[in-house]
Structure 1
Amino acid sequence: MDWKRGAYPEFEIEDVVVVLFLLKTPKGRKQISEELNLGEGTVRTLLKKLSSIGLVESQQKGHSLSEKGAEVVKEISRLFSEPLEATPLDGFVTYALVVKNPPEFKSIELRDEAIRFFARGAMILVVQDNEIIFPEDRRPLKETLPKLSEDLKKLPIENGDLVIVTWADTKADALKSLIHVALTLKGELLPEEIKKLVE
């Protein structure tokens, strides 16, 4: 049995953020449960908590963001972008996002954070002169991974941004490890009501 699917309604801040992004389009509880590899009881608890602070509405067709929820997602998007599914790397599910105004960071530490959070691998890139490059040697990504480089152009990138790419066995692990790295950099700037959900 998958250890993550216990009867305990446990979720982490990463789950909360991923659910908020997912609910930009209405989704049913079962769908959220499958996409995030969380038990349905956990998803029920998480949705109930989001609903109690007015961020999520439930209708017949599923759960979606309320107006307030959409505002909160906009606020989060000023810190980092919504995850974008990219071309699989090494056959693994791959996602990427942009971190705006990143603080000082060490690529190796951020990669370790992603792997600690079940990613198979991670890439930390920066945007310079409108090019996505490897910070260590300033090599443009398009020279080694042209397809990924093309995908990442769909992200709202600007000079000075940090681009994080993670890949994992499942969509849930790829997404959560990606959000985890973004939160390592920007977590304390999340809206207070979101942080309170997991205290």
Structure 2
Amino acid sequence: MKNLVVRVDRKRGAYPEYTLEDAIATIFLLKTPLGRKQIAEKLELGEGTVRTLLRKLSNLGIIGSRQRGHFLTEKGEKLKAKLNESFLDPIGVSVDGWPAVAIIVKNPPKFKSIELRDEAIRFDAKGAMILTVRNGEIVFPEDSRPLKETYPEIVRKLMNYEEGDAIIIAWAETPPKALKAAIHVAVFMKEKDLPGELLEVVR
């Protein structure tokens, strides 16, 4: 899947840009109201870029704003619920000291782990594991080795997974990079099922 990028002209010749992954991350981050500066820090984006992204989300009726910060509107909550039919909210974990993020993907298509790892690395991850739920246990699909044998602390953090789900774990230099790399792989896997309203954000 091509990386969807929006570029917006600004004075002084700067070009703020955001991706579909930034938009999805923002929707997940707004479980609680956040200010623009907080969102910029959590996404490692410039405040001008975040302002443009938030304006687009607001114009589409996905978020609102009040004194405490930006929040999901009723439409935004419904959009997030649709997203959760494809993949669940990101979960912060750690892999060998690296900040990492895990995402449970529902009803995944057939996949090749190495291709998905390459996608994560292409999106600034240092590495990724793509796992599956088999006989109620999270395992490496290649050899059915249980994740709990090497990363029991990650397994303890993962909940609400079901038989056949895929689990993406991406790690990177910073939490925002890990977050967006994991989301990128989830989007790559579930591209055909993404809500149309979401794609409007990057048009």
Partner Cα separation in structure 1 for residue 144 and residue 177 of structure 2: 29
What residue number does 1:59 align with?
Answer: 66
Q: Deviations along 1:16-44, whole A, 9 cap, x unmatched?
A: 00000101110000000011011101100
1:168-179 → structure 2 map (5 Å cutoff): 168-179=172-183
Q: Is 1:7–1:41's contact at 8 Å kept on the other side of the alignment?
A: no
Give, in angstroms, the shift of residue 121 of structure 1.
0.8
Task: Provide the residue aligned with 1:104 in structure 2.
Answer: 110
Q: What SS does the aligned partner of 1:32 have? A: helix
Unaligned stretches of 5+ residues in structure 1: 1-5
Tell me how far apart the structure 2 counterparts of residues 188 and 160 of structure 1 sit (CA, whole Å).
19
Deviations 1:139-174 (A, max 9, x none): 11111222122222x3x2000000000111111100
Superposition TM-score, scaled by structure 1 size: 0.93
Checking the alignment, whether the CA contact within 8 Å between 1:24 and 1:70 is kept in structure 2 is no
Match of 1:121 among 104, 108, 127: 127
Partner of 1:3: none
Give 1:147's match in structure 2, choosing from 121, 143, 153: 153
Asked whether 1:78 is paired with 2:82, we answer: no
Provide TM-score, normalisation by structure 2. 0.91
Structure 2 distance, partners of 1:198, 1:172, is 19
Identity %: 55
Asked if structure 2 preserves the Cα contact closer than 8 Å seen for 1:8 and 1:41, the reply is: no
Compute the RMSD of aligned alpha carbons.
1.1
Structure-2 separation of matches of 1:194 and 1:9: 19
Counterpart in the other structure of 1:135? 141
Report the Cα offset of residue 9 of structure 1.
2.4
The code of the aligned residue for 1:113 comes to E
Task: List alignment gaps of at least 5 residues for structure 2.
Answer: 1-12
Deviation sequence 1:80-115 (CA, Å, 0-9, x none): 0000011x2121111101100000110000000000
Residue 37 of structure 1 aligns to which amino acid in structure 2? E
Deviates more, 1:7-16 or 1:63-72: 7-16
Residue in structure 2 matched with residue 159 of structure 1 by the alignment: 163
Distance in structure 1 (CA, Å) of the matches to 2:14 and 2:68: 26
Matched length: 191
Partner of 2:64, secondary structure, is strand
